[in-house]
């Protein structure tokens, strides 16, 4: 695992999510959840808990996402909190037995998981909560290190640039993956976007990624071509001589607008300085670029100087 990368364990209380989707037209999409969580690090464990006879229509998509489905019989047989207890037991087992797992994601809005969150934080784990706005308890939300609302996963990305229409399909896909990963790193408050960090993020989001499939010999060539098409801007680190992405997407247009605004503010100041009065050694004011003062003006200055000297005596 790359240095600085996090190992995540994801636990899904599916019955709580189903409550949040009651009365809604759309369906729960596990792909959107995992797509967001993989930006946090490498997901090494994924489990979902429910009575799957009640949610059979979701089992296929969960299986395709390699999620382990833990069967919890209906409540009449096992009691109300059997799924919650099983989830907590499995999470604590991983917390104690797998030291390399440093981040836990609890996909639920049930306040019953607040003690679990507190215990995981006590063990030095980073806890991420994810749930529906309507069915999430404030107690759970405020106890997590960070909380993500499912509804926010569908928000459009403002940093995504408009790619040229004439681009070949292969380049369009490559640039799309590149910008998507850069946006993910910005969401994680990464200020310095090293090329290796960008590629690791792409590989987590799309494990089959290989730049050669898109016609590039190296990842650096992909970055250089993206810069040539105006997708991003690159700089070279002075120590390692590797590429660093400085700006991309809307960041470029915003920075250009700021630069133009600064230039417009400086221009009047320069004009005022050029048109300012220049004080000569004899105290006469002349404009920059004007000719020397005439003899009559000089005599007036000398007379005023003699009068002030006589008054002082």
59-73, 150-164, 241-255: lowest mean pLDDT where? Answer: 150-164
Q: How far apart are CA 175 and CA 208, in angstroms?
A: 16
Q: Above 70 in pLDDT, residue 288?
A: no
The torsion angles phi and psi of 44, rounded to 5 degrees, stand at: -110, -10
For residue 198 the two structure tokens come to: 């960008």
Q: Are 154 and 148 in contact (CB under 8 A)?
A: no
DSSP state of 205: H
DSSP state of 54: T
CA geometry: angle 62, 29, 172, nearest 5 deg? 105
DSSP state of 277: E
Q: How many domains does the chain have?
A: 2
pLDDT value at residue 114:
95
Q: Based on the domain organization, do 20 and 88 belong to the same domain?
A: yes
Q: Based on the domain organization, do 149 and 13 belong to the same domain?
A: yes
pLDDT value at residue 62:
94
**pTM, 2 dp:** 0.70
Which residues, at least 6 apart from 63, have a Cβ–Cβ distance to it below 8 Å?
A: 69
Q: Based on the domain organization, do 46 and 89 belong to the same domain?
A: yes
Report the 10 Å Cβ neighbour count for 148.
Answer: 19
How many secondary structure helices (H) and strands (E) does the chain include?
12, 11
**Of 252, 269, 296, which residue sits at a domain end?**
252
Tens of pLDDT, residues 260-285: 554 455 445 444 445 544 444 444 44
DSSP state of 165: T
Q: Based on the domain organization, do 182 and 101 belong to the same domain?
A: no
Tens of pLDDT, residues 95-134: 999 999 999 999 999 999 999 999 999 999 999 999 988 8
DSSP state of 24: -
């Amino acid at each position: 695992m790359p240095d600085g990368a996090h190992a995540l364990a994801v636990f899904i209380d599916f019955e709580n999510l189903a409550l949040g989707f009651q009365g809604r037209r759309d369906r729960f999409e596990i792909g959107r959840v995992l797509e967001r969580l993989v930006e946090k690090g490498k997901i090494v464990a994924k489990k979902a808990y429910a009575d799957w006879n009640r949610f059979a229509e979701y089992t296929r998509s969960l299986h395709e996402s390699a999620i382990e489905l833990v069967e919890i019989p209906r409540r009449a047989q096992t009691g109300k909190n059997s799924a919650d207890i099983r989830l907590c037991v499995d999470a604590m087992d991983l917390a104690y037995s797998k030291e390399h797992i440093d981040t836990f994601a609890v996909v639920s809005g049930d306040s019953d998981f607040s003690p679990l969150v507190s215990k995981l934080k006590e063990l030095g784990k980073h806890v991420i909560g994810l749930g529906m706005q309507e069915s999430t308890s404030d107690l759970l939300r405020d106890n997590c290190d960070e909380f993500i609302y499912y509804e926010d996963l569908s928000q459009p990305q403002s940093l995504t640039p408009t790619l040229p229409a004439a681009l070949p399909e292969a380049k369009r896909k490559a640039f799309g993956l590149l910008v998507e990963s850069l946006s993910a790193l910005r969401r994680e408050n990464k200020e310095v976007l090293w090329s290796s960090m960008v590629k690791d993020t792409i590989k987590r989001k799309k494990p089959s990624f290989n730049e050669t499939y898109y016609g590039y010999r190296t990842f650096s060539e992909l970055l250089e071509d993206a810069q040539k098409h105006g997708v991003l801007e690159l700089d070279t680190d002075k120590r390692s001589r590797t590429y660093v992405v400085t700006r991309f997407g809307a960041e470029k247009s915003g920075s250009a607008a700021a630069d133009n605004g600064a230039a417009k503010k400086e221009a009047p100041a320069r004009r005022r300085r050029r048109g300012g009065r220049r004080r000569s050694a004899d105290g006469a004011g002349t404009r920059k670029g004007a000719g020397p003062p005439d003899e009559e003006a000089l005599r007036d200055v000398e007379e005023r100087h003699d009068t002030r000297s006589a008054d002082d005596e």
